[in-house]
Structures are given as structure tokens and as C-alpha cells.
């Protein structure tokens, strides 16, 4: 059964994060089990704001379909024949840069979660969640959030804490890569604040915050706010208590 608390969210609205709901969210479903794909399509067809535009049975086919269809969301399994979902993530981001990828899998292995995030996935959900939660997660990711099943989010944070506790020496940020203001913004991003709240906290415009976030991601060669949170924790910009 699904965890009643639902997937954990991290606001991931960076450059291009705000989306209009004038058009349905276009979804590509990728899974090597045809019955599972069909089940998802039937369920999502009931959602007026979500449109399944295609399906694929493996990672290689997913890359081709993503290039042709340019979906908003790719809902993809981790382990599939020919080419796995994590391996396909990087290629999909190349052929359809605006697509956001949600891994939907039975794998609760920490290694798969870490590799998926590194490959550019914006969500990691276990197949134990309810069908209603899948639709909710699609909307959240389309709106710029990151979605992780609670049990996986707990493992992620525990691993970050262990990494920090194993390290006696504080590693410093590579100076002068980030300005003082960018460091302030990064700290607030890492606490889960969205752009609007950061703007209020620092008495600057929301557009200025977006520019700072964009610059931070570019300078640190990161792809998302989720990765920025990981970086902040690893570098002890954000202390975990």
C-alpha cells in the first residue's frame, strides 16, 4: 500500500520552472510491462489536465519517442531490457531538454536513486504508491517540484548525514565561484524555500532570485535545485541536525 504521507517534495523551479496549465501535461509512459503501461494510460486518461502522448517498452525506444514527441513528463521504469531508465535519462535530456523525468520503479536501492538524480531525474517514486498519487506527482513535477517517495527521501537524507559525519575536515566551497549573495540564495534554496519566499527573505525581486539560481546552477555545473540541495549538504552550507 502507498505511504499515506505521499511523495516528498522539493521546489525545483529554476529557469523555465513556472509552467502554464493552459495545455494538458503531455506524458510519455516508459515501462517494459505492457499491462502496466496500459493500466497507467487508463488511469491518467481520467485526468483532464494530463494527456498520455506515447509509450515505450525500453530506454532506447524512450529516447526515440522523447525526441519525436517532446513530452513535458517522462514516466519511466529504472530496470528495463536493451537500455535501462537511468541510462536513458541523459540521452532524453539531450533530445528533449524541457522534459522532466520521473522514475517509477520497484527498486528501492539507494544506488539507483543516486544515479537517477545524477542522470537528471526530477522524481523517484516506488510503484507501491497509488494511482492517484502518480497523477499528483506528475502535476507537482510539471510545476517545478521534485518528487521522491518518503522511504527513499529518508534514505537519501540519512546518507547525506553519514557522509558529513564521516568527514572531520570541512571542505570549503571553491572560491571565488559563488558570490556572497549567491551563497545566501543557495542556503535558502537548501532549506526548501521557493523563489518567492527567498525574494521576501532577502528583500530582492523574484526575478533576481531566478537569475541567482540560474547562475548558481551554471557555476556549479548542476542541473536542478535538488542537486543544489545535495551540494549544499555535502559542502556543509546547510547543516543537518
Q: What is the mean pLDDT of the chain?
A: 80
Task: Check: CB of residue 178 under 8 Å from CB of residue 186.
Answer: yes
- Structural domains in the chain, sorted by start: 8-152 (3.40.50.2300), 167-234 (1.10.10.10)
Is residue 10 within 8 A of residue 229, CB to CB? The reply is yes
pLDDT at 169 over 70: no
The whole-number pLDDT of residue 203 equals 94
Which cell is 160 given? Answer: 547525506
Predicted structure pTM score: 0.59
Q: How far apart are CA 229 and CA 18, in angstroms?
A: 19
Convert the pLDDT of each residue in 90-140 to its tens digit.
899 999 999 999 998 888 777 788 888 888 888 888 888 887 889 989 998
Q: Is 230 helix (H, G, I), strand (E, B) or coil?
A: helix
Closest C-alpha to 121, from 67, 182, 163, 75: 75
pLDDT of residue 218: 86
Q: What is the mean pLDDT of residues 188-211?
A: 88
Contact (Cβ atoms closer than 8 angstroms) between residue 92 and residue 99? yes
User: What is the C-alpha separation between 25 and 139, in angstroms, rounded?
Assistant: 8
Is the bond leading into 168 cis (omega within 30 degrees of zero)? no
Query: CB neighbours of 204 closer than 8 A, spacing ≥ 6?
Result: none
- Compute φ and ψ for 157, nearest 5 degrees: -65, -35
Q: What is the pLDDT of residues 201-238, one digit of tens each?
A: 999 999 999 999 989 888 887 777 777 777 777 766 65
The length of the chain is 241
**pLDDT given for residue 20 in this prediction:** 47
Percent of the chain residues past pLDDT 70, beyond the cut: 77
Amino acid at each position: 500500500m502507498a505511504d499515506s504521507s505521499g511523495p516528498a517534495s522539493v521546489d525545483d523551479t529554476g529557469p523555465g520552472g513556472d509552467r502554464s496549465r493552459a495545455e494538458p501535461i503531455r506524458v510519455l509512459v516508459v515501462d517494459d510491462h505492457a499491462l502496466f503501461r496500459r493500466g497507467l494510460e487508463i488511469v491518467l486518461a481520467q485526468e483532464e489536465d494530463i494527456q498520455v502522448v506515447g509509450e515505450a517498452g525500453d530506454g532506447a525506444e524512450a529516447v526515440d519517442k522523447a525526441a519525436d514527441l517532446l513530452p513535458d513528463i517522462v514516466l519511466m521504469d529504472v530496470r528495463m531490457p536493451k537500455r535501462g531508465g537511468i541510462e536513458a535519462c541523459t540521452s532524453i535530456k539531450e533530445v528533449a531538454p524541457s522534459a522532466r523525468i520521473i522514475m517509477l520503479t520497484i527498486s528501492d536501492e539507494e544506488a539507483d536513486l543516486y544515479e537517477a538524480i545524477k542522470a537528471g531525474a526530477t522524481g523517484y517514486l516506488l510503484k507501491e504508491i497509488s494511482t492517484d498519487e502518480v497523477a499528483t506527482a506528475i502535476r507537482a513535477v510539471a510545476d517545478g517540484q521534485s518528487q521522491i517517495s518518503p522511504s527513499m527521501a529518508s534514505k537519501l537524507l540519512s546518507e547525506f548525514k553519514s557522509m558529513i559525519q564521516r568527514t572531520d575536515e570541512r571542505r570549503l566551497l571553491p572560491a571565488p565561484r559563488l558570490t556572497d549573495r549567491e551563497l545566501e540564495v543557495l542556503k535558502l534554496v537548501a532549506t526548501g524555500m521557493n523563489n518567492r519566499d527567498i525574494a521576501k527573505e532577502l528583500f530582492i525581486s523574484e526575478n533576481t532570485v531566478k537569475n541567482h539560481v540560474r547562475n548558481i546552477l551554471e557555476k556549479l555545473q548542476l542541473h536542478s535545485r535538488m542537486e543544489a540541495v545535495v551540494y549544499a549538504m555535502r559542502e556543509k552550507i546547510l547543516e543537518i541536525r
